[in-house]
Structure 1
Amino acid sequence: MIGEPEIDGDWDTARGAEGAAEALPGERERAPGARTPWWWALGGVVAASAVWAGALAVQDRFPDVPRLDHRHSSDVCKEFELKTVGQAVGREFEGRQSGEGVFLAQDWSYCTVITPYQEGAVMYGAQLLVELHKKDDPAAEFATGPGTDPATRLDMGQRREVPGLGDRAVLDRYHANDGSRLMVLDGGAVFTLTVQRFRISGADGANAADGDRSGGVDEDAMEAAMIEDMRALMAKLER
């Protein structure tokens, strides 16, 4: 009969690929009729090749994708405690407001806080901005450009590097000496923390710069506190 050689194993040339499949190690221990179709292996190779090709295509499209060692937080105020800065100024921060944005090239989130109002006392406000660059490396433009608000115009002559924090970190003071900005670059992540002193004055509650810029707080101590709180935040956001 035509089918007998294939069933009995006497017609090896007629078996083609199935005969080759039987020669694989362990194949002879399979129960009769339970052989796995040979094309599963070909399908696996094709699938793996497709995944690899897709990965290469992404690398070709975005060859300079920076590393991201930190995660995005939809409410970074929950991660941002400012404990050390609060100790430096002798008051806790409150009035937390946050926002976020998630886009193809960049995710960002921010948090703003302020110390409670005390009549005649200097108040402190802080803002944190976390940017995760997913497409372009932010290193080339890191910490460039002055602030747009005259009250927060930076004094670049006082810039100093902060060692041991991210890939690069810099501290700048405002020209008006009423605040500081700490910026940290770590791979594709950019962290910006600003702390400013001010006093609320006038019947309309408008902000006015305080004549006593220091507010009784040593600027070096304040900036050291900013560094410690930034370090704690970055550790929390690590992947």
Structure 2
Amino acid sequence: MISEPELVGGGGFPDPVGPPLPHPPPPAAGERPAAPRARRPWPWALGGAVVASAVWAGGLYAYGPDGGPDLGGYRTDRDPCQAARLDGLAAAFGPKGVSADEPLKVDHPALFEWSCSVTLASKPIMYTLHISYDLHRVTDPGPEFEAVREDPQLLGGGERISGVGEVAYFGGAYEENSLTVLDGQAVLSMSLRPTDGFDEDTDSPVEPPRLDPAAMRTYLVEDMRQLMTALKG
């Protein structure tokens, strides 16, 4: 069993209290006692004040007069699947079709989310494009965005690319034909997936073709730029 360490006079450690300090002599007759000296602030207190001032100043820079972060013009009244023209993807996979499923919309004071899917009518394999749009109204999404992208178990990974948003990743652990973008307070993603194809002539399923990563990256970046502009307009 581990015993508690002895703090005073034991184990070779000096007594932290030490000898008593001498008392100052009493003031002479008719002499006023000296005023006590002001204590100097502890270094950690000074450091905390400096940090607090820096954070406060940074808050003034990052936040607008209404107390909330600058949303960069992003709006919440436009369906991203309707706003996205998808010129690049449509040229390669066929025109944009109807929504593949019911859109999901969450409007919370701290976070706005809208996710939806559309079809691309290519033959013989039809593709589905999933679009998600998150607008963070209170907190900075940057640290969480980077943390997710660094962990493949959180659908992260991928190739960091430039030319769209502040930070963007192409591909990932489970979505090789996808693009995820951080732009200020907004996080947007597009991911393209093949649907189950069936060849009626051979009465057998059709294996989806292997897509060219360079071409996919070009299409997704082009269409994401247009969508970001539309959501700000």
TM-score > 0.5 by shorter chain:
yes
**Separation in structure 2 between the aligned mates of residue 147 and residue 226 of structure 1, nearest angstrom:** 23
What does residue 231 of structure 2 align with?
Answer: 237
Where does 1:6-45 land on structure 2 (aligned, <5 Å)?
none
What does residue 166 of structure 1 align with?
Answer: 165
Deviations, residues 69-118 of structure 1 (Å, cap 9, x unaligned) = 111134222201212111122x1121225332211111111220113475
Equivalent residues of 2:170, 2:176 under 8 A apart: no
Distance 1:195 1:77, change over 3 A: same
Distance 1:183 1:66, change over 3 A: farther
**Separation in structure 1 between the aligned mates of residue 81 and residue 192 of structure 2, nearest angstrom:** 15
What does residue 212 of structure 2 align with?
Answer: 218
Equivalent residues of 1:111, 1:128 under 8 A apart: yes
**Separation in structure 1 between the aligned mates of residue 184 and residue 222 of structure 2, nearest angstrom:** 20
What does residue 71 of structure 2 align with?
Answer: 68
How many residue pairs match? The answer is 160
**Separation in structure 2 between the aligned mates of residue 237 and residue 138 of structure 1, nearest angstrom:** 18
**Separation in structure 2 between the aligned mates of residue 196 and residue 86 of structure 1, nearest angstrom:** 14
TM-score (norm 1): 0.57
Deviations, residues 25-55 of structure 1 (Å, cap 9, x unaligned) = xxxxxxxxxxxxxxxxxxxxxxxxxxxxxxx
Question: Any unmatched runs of 5+ in structure 2?
Answer: 1-59, 200-204
Of 109, 118, 125, the residue aligned with 2:114 is 109
What does residue 127 of structure 2 align with?
Answer: 124
TM-score (norm 2): 0.59
Question: Which ranges of 4 or more aligned residues in structure 1 deviate by more than 3 Å?
Answer: 145-148, 210-213
What does residue 190 of structure 1 align with?
Answer: 187
Q: What SS is found at the alignment partner of 2:113?
A: strand
- Structure ranking higher in helix proportion: 1
What does residue 222 of structure 2 align with?
Answer: 228
